[in-house]
Amino acid sequence: MNEQVTLRPFTRNIAQRLAELANNQNVVAQVRDNFPSPYTISDAHYWIDFCNSRHSGESFHQAIYHHEDFVGGIGVLRQEDIHRNNAEIGYWLGEPYWGLKIATAAVVQMTDWIFTHTTITRLYAGVFETNPASMRVLVKAGYKLEAIHRKAIIKNDLVLDEHLFVKLAGE
């Protein structure tokens, strides 16, 4: 797909760039409220340390690189109990890298890795109705719209629909 995109572990040497790219209201507008805003160097160090301490098989986080530049992040969170073969995938890119097919390449790579190396058989992503670009990323990566959860989320005091995209192993 895009050989210039690679997924790598988060490392301390990217903390400054992580803080710079993540401290952007256009990025923050399309992610969950637990994504810090403003995003400080301290937040970057916390996130990098968190990612490097998670080896339980429940979550998988990778930094997205374009050529040799850090450009964003992607992660998968396994669900629990009867939903343990399901996992949520999420991702973000720094605004200067939007529209370059980087997110699609990263989603394809992470999806393939998860289905090859874990027992997860269903990946899903919830996308705000205000983010058609992310919906296109998922469709290009082979995900299918499974449902629209009407007025299911609140972001920036707006009640929005959440579009649920799903990909099954072997599809």
Please measure the distance between the N-terminal and C-terminal CA atoms of the chain and give it in whole angstroms.
17
Output the CA torsion sign for 5, 8, 13, 19: positive
pLDDT, averaged across the chain = 94
Task: Write down the pTM of the prediction.
Answer: 0.94
Q: Quick one: pLDDT at residue 54?
A: 62
- The residue extents of the domains of the chain are 5-168
Percent above pLDDT 90 for the chain: 92
pLDDT tens, position by position, 38-81? 999 999 999 999 888 865 667 899 999 999 999 999 999 999 99
Question: Where are any strands of DSSP class E within 35-157?
Answer: 59-66, 69-78, 86-93, 122-128, 144-155
- pLDDT band for position 149 (cuts 50, 70, 90): very high
Give the CATH number of domain 5-168; options: 3.40.50.1240, 3.40.630.30, 3.40.50.1100, 3.90.1150.10: 3.40.630.30
pLDDT tens, position by position, 91-109? 999 999 999 999 999 999 9
DSSP at 111:
H
Mean pLDDT computed over 117-143: 97
pLDDT tens, position by position, 152-171? 999 999 999 999 999 999 98
Query: By CB neighbour count within 10 A (0-12 exposed, 13-18 middle, 19+ buried), where does 103 fall?
Result: buried
